[in-house]
Amino acid sequence: MDKPVRLRFAPSPTGPLHIGGIRTALYNYLFTRKHQGQFILRVEDTDQGRYVPGAEEYIINSLKWVGLIPDEGPGFGGEFGPYRQSERKAIYSKYAQQLVEKGEAYYAFDSAEELNALRDSNGGNQKYDYNTRHQMKNSVTLGMEVAKKKMDEGDPYVIRLKVPEAQEVVIEDVIRGRVSFHTSDLDDKVLIKSDGMPTYHMANVIDDYLMKISHVIRGEEWLSSTAHHVLLYKAFGWKNDMPAFAHLPLILKPTGNGKLSKRDGAQFGFPVFPISWIVSDGVEFSGFREYGFEPDALLNFLALLGWNNGTEQELFTIDELIQNFSLEKIVKSGARFDFEKGKWFNQQYLHKIPETEMVLRIRRDFHELNIDLKDDDCHMIYELYKDRVVFSKDYCDFGKVYFEEITHYDKEFVEKKWKPEHLPAYQSIQEIISGIQDWHAAEIETRLKEFVKTGAIKPGELFPALRVAMSGIPTGPDVFKMIQFTGKEKFVKRMEQFIQYLKR
């Protein structure tokens, strides 16, 4: 008897999607996959004033990057199209007409000034509702004859929902349980704007009905207006076909107040967008992709931000997420965004990537720097850095010092650890190393340790110094392997450069 499972992700192309949107899409996707349903992308582009060119393409590219591919949607086919609301204008007018005829909606001719005057009255809190509609300029007060005449004369008008008096509107939210509103708190929402376009509420309800949507999983910002949506379903006589609602907790800023917003990335120093977004004036907002995130890691991280399966498992493959997902286990309260935890997820995923794949990426990243690496070099860089990378591009960031000139040395190290009396030791080491025939880390290690035993320098002073000489910074992998990888000739040169720098 259950309806087929059909869920929609319905973003508005007013700019780039942010990760909250990706999480919403993910939950929709997981639910459909778990119940063998359809995952539908619907573009809610009914606000012509806020339409941003390229945003739709951006949304689709983002979904593709993370692997949440719609079964239906613009460019994805499907029997219930068009999936862009701007292309469904005629449908909405038809249904709006129907509502007016049934007496569930009415035409309104109030000007912006008149609406402001209404709002400002009664202490600035007055709504356009069943208490005030009788004092406004609409087909309820004017009569249908006059209204028709005004419309024929070209007077701009909107269509408003005629919210019934003194009723309780109840929503059975899958996540929150029973939530109720009273119609006395609800205004007569505009359904069709004066440009002929529907508002979100109107288009949303009609499309969900027409597209046979079974469950609406969306952000909590929609919970309040769901009361109007329920009223709309009733007005149309579609109450029995109403989808189940599940309102998701919001993702909050890491610190401070409010929900995570698109501008927070710049402020907190981490991406909030899945992939980078270039604003028309050339400003670019970096994305998780460009930051180096694995799409599966991002999804895993996002999935756990407001949901868990009741166990202590944190690492889930996408299939495991599908198997384990349930709306009932979604947390009710908002979740602060913790970028550090996101990085941890990425690191975990990076460890799972096989060496052969990683080596390919290392070669590709170096190639972009115009450095063509030999197979052995790629493997060596992998070996050297695999325990300390968080993103795959870190291999390149760490490894490029072996192929580029060293332009500066860690200031703190030089100031704190460098002592002029170390100089002879450095020079001795340069000689010892350059004398090694069997160029291997093990041999280098033996010789260096022998030297340290002479007491010329302490190990704690020597090894970090060698790292600085090799790479500019005192942290890094095993020094002996570093030296081996640097190569004898380059090692000698770098020691020379370092010694010159210290003498300056």
| Interactions with RNA, residue window 110-169 (CB under 7 A) | 110-112, 115, 119, 125, 127-128, 156, 158
Closest C-alpha among 479, 473, 425 to residue 452: 425
Written as one string, the DSSP assignment of 253-314 is: PSSSSSB--TTHHHHHTS--BSS-EE-TTS-EE-BHHHHT--HHHHHHHHHTSSB--SSS--
Distance of CA 277 to the CA centre of its chain: 12
Tell which one of 52, 146, 151, 250 touches RNA (CB under 7 A).
Answer: 250
Handedness of CA 409, 410, 412, 418 (dihedral sign): negative
- Whole-angstrom Cα distance, residue 30 to residue 36? 10
**Helix H or strand E encompassing 173:** strand 168-173
Q: Least separation, in Å, of the C-beta of 2 and RNA?
A: 25
Is 332 among the residues that bind RNA (CB under 7 A)?
A: yes
Structure tokens at 328: 């009932």
Q: Least separation, in Å, of the C-beta of 200 and RNA?
A: 3
* Choice between 32 and 183, CB closer to RNA: 183
Q: Least separation, in Å, of the C-beta of 439 and RNA?
A: 18
CA 260 vs CA 21, 66, 256: distances in Å: 11, 20, 10
* Choice between 331 and 401, CB closer to RNA: 331
Size of the site for RNA (CB under 7 A): 80
Is 47 among the residues that bind RNA (CB under 7 A)?
A: yes
Tell which one of 64, 263, 388, 440 touches RNA (CB under 7 A).
Answer: 388
- Whole-angstrom Cα distance, residue 154 to residue 33? 49
Tell which one of 190, 350, 362, 469 touches RNA (CB under 7 A).
Answer: 190
* Choice between 50 and 364, CB closer to RNA: 50
Is 410 among the residues that bind RNA (CB under 7 A)?
A: no
**Taking contact as CB under 7 A, which single stretch among the options 338-346, 358-366, 433-441, 484-492 is the one that binds RNA?**
338-346
* Choice between 199 and 363, CB closer to RNA: 199
Is 331 among the residues that bind RNA (CB under 7 A)?
A: yes
Contact at 8 Å (CB) between 61 and 69? no
**Taking contact as CB under 7 A, which single stretch among the options 27-35, 97-105, 276-284, 456-464 is the one that binds RNA?**
456-464
Is 382 among the residues that bind RNA (CB under 7 A)?
A: no
Pairing state between β 284-285 and 244-248: unpaired
* Choice between 271 and 363, CB closer to RNA: 271
Residue 262 annotated among the catalytic residues of the structure: yes
Write 496-504 long-range contacts (CB < 8 A, 24+).
496/430, 497/406, 497/469, 498/409, 498/426, 498/468, 498/469, 499/423, 499/426, 499/427, 499/430, 501/409, 502/414, 502/418, 502/423, 502/426, 503/423
Tell which one of 14, 61, 98, 141 touches RNA (CB under 7 A).
Answer: 14
Is 366 among the residues that bind RNA (CB under 7 A)?
A: no
Q: Least separation, in Å, of the C-beta of 467 and RNA?
A: 6
**Taking contact as CB under 7 A, which single stretch among the options 54-62, 89-97, 272-280, 324-332 is the one that binds RNA?**
324-332
Contact at 8 Å (CB) between 444 and 434? no
- Whole-angstrom Cα distance, residue 333 to residue 353? 34
Distance of CA 404 to the CA centre of its chain: 35
Is 477 among the residues that bind RNA (CB under 7 A)?
A: yes
Burial (CB < 10 A; 0-12, 13-18, 19+), residue 386, is middle
* Choice between 68 and 248, CB closer to RNA: 248
**Helix H or strand E encompassing 215:** strand 215-219
Tell which one of 106, 233, 288, 463 touches RNA (CB under 7 A).
Answer: 463
* Choice between 363 and 429, CB closer to RNA: 429
Q: For the window 435-454, what string marks contact with RNA as x by the rule CB under 7 A?
A: --------------x--xx-
Is 320 among the residues that bind RNA (CB under 7 A)?
A: no
Looking at residues 220 to 249 of the shown chain, list those that interact with RNA (rule: CB under 7 A).
220-225, 249
Contact at 8 Å (CB) between 130 and 183? yes
What's the first-to-final CA gap in the chain, in angstroms? 84
Is 344 among the residues that bind RNA (CB under 7 A)?
A: yes
Q: Least separation, in Å, of the C-beta of 454 and RNA?
A: 10
Structure tokens at 148: 């028709």
Looking at residues 72 to 101 of the shown chain, list those that interact with RNA (rule: CB under 7 A).
none
**Taking contact as CB under 7 A, which single stretch among the options 6-14, 30-38, 57-65, 271-279 is the one that binds RNA?**
6-14
3-state secondary structure of 161: strand
Catalytic positions, written as ranges:
262
